[in-house]
Structure 1
């Protein structure tokens, strides 16, 4: 009779994923239909709870599964990812309904690609440092301001301020004063 109780307790622990060391798969529910395998992998990888071995997503049904290397990693993932907002929806995490079959071995997936990829845009210089881009933006703004003043003002004051601004901006762009920054202005009556 005692053996029967021990067997039923063992069977109960095998059915209860929280206590079964063979359970390493996390069920992820309430996923938006636009969330794909790579995006789910990226979100769970960024939690840093362990090695992810497999990611499956049923986009049309709004759920997925993530298999970790160990039961402890899966436990931590359920705790940390439950309620995580992905594309405006709080995901729901629980145990997958089947234990990982004994002898299943795989290696962890490589880190996911970043969520953004730099895309070259027309009119934006590429391959420059932030300091170089800042200098470029400053020069562009000064040039636009000078052009606006020339077009918007008539007479001597517009010409004088535009000439000074253009000369000063060239010196700023070059990083040092040069001969063109000491222009001689001519006045006409």
Structure 2
């Protein structure tokens, strides 16, 4: 049995694929599982081996100790460098912890 595709059906297939591409078209990475002792300098040094790092931010608890919350962001100068860094650094050992790296969500 042959099915005729309607315009509505074809858009349904294209839109999720486009969202997936847009989600991964990002030069900013989200890094989770950081040691509470990891600072922005250590994070920059670890990721700088894989491309030009533009900005690094370790998220800290401002209300109590100003210690790291265990996650942060690393932004590269290009999407290609971010992709390489994600592939190389995801699951790596940094400051006594295995880190996980994802593309940062836009917006």
TM-score, normalised relative to structure 1 = 0.44
CA RMSD of aligned residues (A): 2.1
Q: Given the alignment, which residue of 74, 89, 101 partners 1:93?
A: 101
Structure 1: runs of 5 or more not aligned: 100-189
Q: Given the alignment, which residue of 39, 61, 64 partners 2:69?
A: 61
Higher strand share: 2
Higher helix share: 1
Q: Given the alignment, which residue of 71, 75, 81 partners 1:73?
A: 81
4+ residue stretches of structure 1 with deviation over 4 A?
A: none
Structure 2: runs of 5 or more not aligned: 1-5, 61-67
1:5 and 2:13 correspond:
no
User: What are the superposed Cα offsets for residues 12-44 of structure 1, whole Å, 9 maximum, x if unpaired?
Assistant: 23432xx33641111111001111111100111
TM-score, normalised relative to structure 2 = 0.73
Q: Structure 2 vs 1, CA of residues 13 and 65 (structure 1 numbering), >3 Å: closer, same or farther?
A: farther
Residue 4 (structure 1) shift: 6.2
C-alpha separation between the residues in 2 aligned to 1:43 and 1:36?
A: 11
State how many pairs are aligned. Answer: 94
C-alpha separation between the residues in 2 aligned to 1:57 and 1:15?
A: 27
RCO higher in structure (CA 8 A, sep ≥6): 2
